[in-house]
Amino acid sequence: MRTETFKTVMALINQDPLTPSQKDVITGGNPDELVGCAEAAELLGISPITMRRIREIPRVNTTRYIRYKKADVIKYREARTW
């Protein structure tokens, strides 16, 4: 890519702010979204059984299932990554 083209594209990106739907795509959606055990385990790269054993992540008890806030799972992942 030519330098002029790159600079033009970057200028256009800087002029046009992101829409809320674009921000959701980039950040992974609503941070207060509740996810199940399997999806939370997938975010952490562990098995669902191990996910159930982790007590440091706050749980949201619904009538039948245990859910986790997506933001809490991501915060836990970032705290454990070095």
State residue 8's pLDDT score. Answer: 77
State residue 43's pLDDT score. Answer: 87
> How confident is the prediction along the chain (82 residues), in pLDDT tens digits per residue?
466 677 776 677 667 666 666 666 655 667 678 899 999 999 899 999 999 999 999 998 888 888 999 889 888 988 886 5
Closest by Cα among 62, 63, 64, 35 to 51: 35
